[in-house]
Structure formats: C-alpha cells, structure tokens
Structure 1
C-alpha cells in the first residue's frame, strides 16, 4: 500500500525531526526496517488525515530492524558514514552546525535502532557486539506488509526533499504504542494512541491495511495491547497531563477494540 504525505517544517524542532527522518529513510532503504515511535504516528496521521486532528511532531527517528540486520552492523556503518556518532549502543546523533543559533548549543539529529522483544517485556539485547533496546510488538511491525509513504518534506529554507518511508499498518502501530504506554505511562503515548484510533474510526479496514483488534481470540502482542487499551480507558479521565479528549478516547477503544474476558 502506498500513500502520499506532505510534511512541512514550521519550527526548528520540526526541521531537526524531518531531517533525521529523511536521513534514516535513506540509510535503511532496501533493508527490513520500519519507522516506529512518534514519527510513525505523525506520518500515519499525515497520510490518513482526520479533520480536526493534528499530528504530533517528535524529535528522534525510532526505527525497528530485525535482529539479523542489527547483528550485521550494516546500518551502524551507514550511520557513521552519514556523520552520525554512536551515543549509546543503539542511539545515534549527528551535529548540524549549519542550523545552529549563535550562543546556543549546536543542534543534533537523533536516531534510535530498535529490535523486537522475544516476549511482552522491554529489555536490552546484544547483537553484533552492540546493545539494542528490544521492544514488544516490533515483530508484528516487521512481519506485516508496510505502508509505503511517499513524502515531500519542505524545510524552513523552502527546499523540498522527496523520501520514501516505510511504516507499519495502523493496527500494528497501535499495538506497538499500547505496549509502550503499558511500560512507561508517558503522555505522548496516549496522545499518539488517540490520533491513531481516530484514523481507525475515519477509514475502513481495507484502507488502512486491515484491522483485527476487534476480533475474537486475541492473543500474544495483540491480546496484551487490547488489555492495555482497556486499562487506559479506566485511567484516562484521571490523567491531567495529556492533551486528548478523554471521553472520546474511551469511546474509540470501546468501538474498535474487543474487551478481553478472563
């Protein structure tokens, strides 16, 4: 499936996020990799627009890769060739002095490489002599046919870059984000889940690459994600630091996610 997206930088933070995205898209071209995290949610909402719902821009380019690709060291070498330095086992940064503001630190483009977890837990794993964060649900992100987003990126200086970005289908994106929320309870994960669920509500399953979270017999990563989403519906009205309509979020979960019975 292919979608078109127009991405426009309206701030310095946008500029850094979009430049990192363009870098990673080219570095991972031809490899078994998907953009995940906040960039994934933003790209999907741009590719599947919903009236009144705005994307949330995020700084770093989180990328899911297979353990085989992680162990090969190919992407590590490509990142270094592009000017990135390894700030941790799976985290990279590239200084961009041309975007510096006098008197302020030199800004950096940031990218993280992530591998699938063997179960429902987040953990650190070593592949090819480097440490990677292993994330639940990423095996689904890599196994599912990706949504190919042909993006025109407009930077602050008016220049335009054309890149092709691979992201998981909307359902898998929600599974990954639900696991993230269950692990770290960050407001940004709730905000991304709300936006992704609005896509589910506005488009047919065929348009977004399928939908199975309303089916019977949910197990594994999908079952854990469904349980996390229903837990979120019970807690969301008590969360004061999230910028989403709590009642609407709970209604979206009730409409599209099967409630598991014990």
Structure 2
C-alpha cells in the first residue's frame, strides 16, 4: 500500500469467541459512526488489524473483546449512543455499551474523546444527555494524523461473513498511543502490543516512522522518554516489569533501541 489513506483489504477468520465478539464490535462501530464523525479504532483491535495489514512473522497476535473507539466530535457521541441503544446495546456507562449475543458473550464498545490539554492519563468529562465520558489528550494527535483505512471481510465462528470498513491509526501513531497507555496503567497487554508494533516496524521499514528521528519533539519525544528507559529496565536481572511469556526481553529491548530515538 503506497499511501496509508488508501483502503487496504483483509480477510480474517475468528479463531476464538473473543475474536468473534471483537469483529462484531468493529462492525457496529463502522455502521453507527461512519459518515457521522471521524474516528479511530484504538487499543487491542488497532494492533490486531495493523498486523493483518502489515504481516510480521515474529509478532504474536492478541485477541481482545472491547472495541475501544476514539471519536473526533463530542457532538456526535449522543447520537451514536442512541443509535446503538436502538440496535440492542445497553449503556453501562457514559462511554461503554454492551450487547448480549449469546449466554456470557457480550459485544462491548467503549467510546473515548480527545482533549486539548497536554496532561497524561484518563480524565472524565460530563457530556450532556450521555454522562461521564473518558478523554485522553493523546487522542487529538491520533485523530489529526492520517488514518489507515481497512476494508474487512471477517468470517465468524458460526460461518457468517460480515464486511465493513474501519479506520485505525498508523503503526507509528499506534506505538505512541500504546506507549502512553503503558505509562498510565503498566499493563502487560500494552507491552505485548508495543512489541507487535515494533516487530511490524522492523519488517516493514517502508512505513512512515519518525520516532527514531532527531530532534524528537512533542508526542514523539514523550514516547521516547517512556520507551527508552523501558528498554533498559526489562533486561535487568531482577527487572520488576512483567512481560508476556511469548515476548523476548532481549529482542524487545533491541527493537526499542533500534526504532526509538534517544530523547
């Protein structure tokens, strides 16, 4: 794909219940939000879709259920929420909606909004007729950067095929989001996703990537300040940082060293 704004086409198969529910969530977001607001799928779905678009032999895919979605317009979240409720979703929070499709199987969609300040971490705001909605400052950067547009054909566990178009950040912007996420909550899932994104970068050097440029500024500088110390910490003999079993500490650290510039 020469231009990250040109649609890519992928065919995927649900290999687990989590996959099945995840693809259903992506479909619901596409049907409800497309044409109303710019958006990006973020979180685990973002990384999994990017791995389908840019295959990497050494990356290990991770499944997730909830379809975290960054909306570009606060005015549309009420309309989108009402539409999803009409389609059978139940609001369990200002930005969280669930739909039961089988016993103990819920499709979950989490909406998040950008904010203009530069503070890190989640901050909730009150949206009229919706309630408390979580915001992240780094989502402004993601929504102002070109999207990777993907046409998805997904075969679900029961054999049903669903088709939709969705939008995710670029591999570089995804790495920035995941670095900030790990810095806020120190989840091993974020480290698994960061490892996958760096493996994609390693195998696809043609992709736009400025996290190794000098001088680093803004969000890229913040990302380097998060990841370069992480690369040093994970190789220490008694490192307190837990990594997924399928992630090599030495290789992960080497990828950080190679693709993330010094702050």
TM-score with structure 2 setting the length: 0.89
Q: CA deviation at 1:132?
A: 1.3
CA distance in 1, matches of 2:87, 2:212: 43
CA distance in 1, matches of 2:58, 2:244: 17
Q: In the alignment, which residue of structure 2 is the partner of 1:103?
A: none
Q: In the alignment, which residue of structure 2 is the partner of 1:111?
A: 109
Over the residues paired in the alignment, what is the CA RMSD in angstroms? Answer: 1.6
Q: In the alignment, which residue of structure 2 is the partner of 1:78?
A: 83
CA distance in 1, matches of 2:226, 2:200: 19
Q: CA deviation at 1:52?
A: 3.2
Structure 1: give runs of 5+ residues left out of the alignment: 101-105
Q: In the alignment, which residue of structure 2 is the partner of 1:12?
A: 17
Q: In the alignment, which residue of structure 1 is the partner of 2:69?
A: 63
CA distance in 1, matches of 2:47, 2:75: 24
Q: CA deviation at 1:182?
A: 0.4
Q: Secondary structure at the match of 1:87?
A: strand
Matching residue within 246, 252, 257 for 2:255? 252
Q: CA deviation at 1:53?
A: 2.0
Structure 2: give runs of 5+ residues left out of the alignment: 1-5
Q: In the alignment, which residue of structure 2 is the partner of 1:219?
A: 217
Q: CA deviation at 1:67?
A: 4.4
TM-score with structure 1 setting the length: 0.89
Contact map agreement 1:46 1:55 (CA 8 A) in 2: no
Q: Secondary structure at the match of 1:73?
A: helix
Contact map agreement 2:74 2:113 (CA 8 A) in 1: no
Contact map agreement 2:72 2:114 (CA 8 A) in 1: yes
Q: Which moved more, 1:178-187 or 1:14-23?
A: 14-23
Q: In the alignment, which residue of structure 2 is the partner of 1:121?
A: 120
Contact map agreement 1:67 1:127 (CA 8 A) in 2: no
CA distance in 2, matches of 1:157, 1:68: 36
Contact map agreement 2:51 2:200 (CA 8 A) in 1: yes
